[in-house]
Chains A and B, each alone.
Chain A
Amino acid sequence: MPRVGVLALQGDFEAHRKALERAGAEAVEVRTAAELADVDGLVIPGGESTTMLKLLRMDGLFDALREFGARKPVFGTCAGAILLASKVLSPAQESLGLVDMTVERNAYGRQIDSRIVKLEPEPGAGIEGAVESVFIRAPVIREAGPRMKVLLKYEGAPVLAEDGRHMVATFHPELTGDTRIHRRFLEKLAAG
């Protein structure tokens, strides 16, 4: 069984842990570099990207994570996707640069603009049927680099995409009962 870490500095890491377990993985919480060294892949959950960034910086986990991502798959949702991006706007902030994209924070607005929508996958995405997508103070992917494979789009912008071994979602698959997206990430782990 693949052993997947969930970065548990802050945010909805518990929801991800449960989603991974439903998808058939062993999920463990990761707060330190030592714990990170012990997993085959990592999920960076939703939460506040500014808070996570502070905590990553406090204990030198930032560099360990960047190094981890050079070898192993990472899946970021919402704040996690922001941390993985190569460039962050509104305002500009530091990021891991593991996924070739530019992300704008809080691009839909405040909580009153949060929404749940059903999205049809892009042709060739390899996902069957609509995906219920929960957007909460979500970012928007403004530019996706040439390596990116877009799986789902909303209002013309990618919301679920892959960059090689990594995956990003600007919404929260962990807040639905649907395990297809987590299972897809587990397939990346199996592929090495």
Chain B
Amino acid sequence: MLYLDEQFRLNVGLAEMLKGGVIMDVTNAGQAVIAEKAGATAVMALERVPADIRKEGGVARMAPISKIREIQKAVTIPVMAKARIGHFMEARVLEALKVDYIDESEVLTPADEEHHIDKRSFKIPFVCGARNLGEALRRIAEGAAMIRTKGEAGSGNIVEAVRHIRTIVKEMRQLTVLGKEELVAESKKHQAPLELVQYVAEHGKLPVPNFSAGGIATPADAALVMQLGAEAVFVGSGIFKSDDPEARAKAIVKAATFYNDPEKLLEASEELGIGMFGLDISKLPESELLQTRGW
């Protein structure tokens, strides 16, 4: 099977190692050290956290190289970085820089409004966002070795991540009860390769790890998406836009492990303040949504 070549297995292998953990957005070495000390499994290097991108506007690009290098030097855990959707040359630069994972991300301003990066031609793994099963499978077909929900980055509001993980999980479950002959029509409906639709129908899950991102701001948010089927979480603005980054980072790490244990969640949340300011997504104009970027 196309999806089981050696490079793909190594790419998925690293995603397996990140399960049950928290990947944190950081913009400098100081934040990266705080994240690592709190127990992050990886950090995501970026120029501005999504909440600031949202507030300040303008074109959001790959982080400056000096910042990524500074972060790589500061920590021993994997360092990820974001490239713009379709911007395969930003991705090539990140590959030359030997980042451990590239996030082809809707949080940055898209560079191509039709095509995503051909991720199979790279020697390092990619993660991509998705709102539904079809989008997830199209990204996997392009070579993504990890899927995360898009949620609504920088909003501090979990509602979109919940919608996306529920949608993906429900659409996967639905495939498992269908007959073989029905899968061809499903492939057409989801606009995804038949081979991948068949895989999901047989296994009831994606062929790559399925994480959640976009709006996670509290330990309970992290536990909620884990309960709904996410295998790990990304936290962007939720940590460094709060008043208590160190304590909050630590608490969310604990929540990703003990998502099934309310007593432990209570312990983890005990000393936290109110968290980042959140946005009511239903009041945001369509043009300000980040999740609709990507095709």
CB of A91 closer than 8 Å to a CB of B: yes
Bound: A153/B82 CA distance, A: 37
CB of A9 closer than 8 Å to a CB of B: yes
Counting residue pairs across A and B whose Cβ atoms lie within 8 Å, the total is 107
Q: Which chain A residue has the least Cβ–Cβ distance from B11? A: A111
CB of B88 closer than 8 Å to a CB of A: no
* Known A114-B13, A116-B10, A134-B13: A14·B19 in contact at CB below 8 Å: yes
For the complex of A and B, list the 6 residue pairs with the smallest distance between their C-beta atoms, beginning with the closest: A54-B39, A111-B100, A12-B16, A10-B20, A48-B41, A51-B39
B: number of interface residues (CB 8 Å): 37
CB of A78 closer than 8 Å to a CB of B: yes
Q: Which chain A residue has the least Cβ–Cβ distance from B77? A: A48
Bound: A136/B11 CA distance, A: 9
Bound: A110/B38 CA distance, A: 22
Q: Give the residues in chain A near B42, CB-CB below 8 Å.
A: 48
CB-defined A-B contacts under 8 Å, sample of 15:
A8-B20, A10-B20, A10-B41, A11-B16, A46-B17, A47-B17, A55-B39, A58-B254, A109-B98, A111-B78, A111-B125, A134-B10, A136-B17, A137-B17, A137-B78
Q: Which chain A residue has the least Cβ–Cβ distance from B13? A: A136
CB of A75 closer than 8 Å to a CB of B: no
Q: Give the residues in chain B near A48, CB-CB below 8 Å.
A: 17-18, 21, 41-42, 77-78
CB of B165 closer than 8 Å to a CB of A: no
Bound: A11/B261 CA distance, A: 18
Q: Which of A95-117 contact B (CB under 8 A)?
A: 105-106, 109-112, 114-116
* Known A46-B16, A105-B76, A134-B13: A116·B6 in contact at CB below 8 Å: yes
* Known A31-B258, A114-B10: A11·B76 in contact at CB below 8 Å: no
Distance to closest chain A CB from B157 (angstroms): 26
CB of B123 closer than 8 Å to a CB of A: yes
* Known A46-B17, A55-B253, A111-B100: A175·B9 in contact at CB below 8 Å: yes
Bound: A10/B264 CA distance, A: 16
Q: Give the residues in chain A near B9, CB-CB below 8 Å.
A: 116, 134, 175
* Known A10-B257, A51-B39, A137-B78: A175·B13 in contact at CB below 8 Å: yes
Distance to closest chain B CB from A76 (angstroms): 14
Distance to closest chain B CB from A20 (angstroms): 16
Q: Which chain B residue has the least Cβ–Cβ distance from A174? A: B16
Distance to closest chain A CB from B72 (angstroms): 8
Q: Give the residues in chain B near A10, CB-CB below 8 Å.
A: 19-21, 41, 256-257
Q: Are A50 and B19 closer than 8 Å at their CB atoms?
A: no
Q: Which of A12, A90, A137, A175 contacts B19 (CB 8 A)?
A: A12
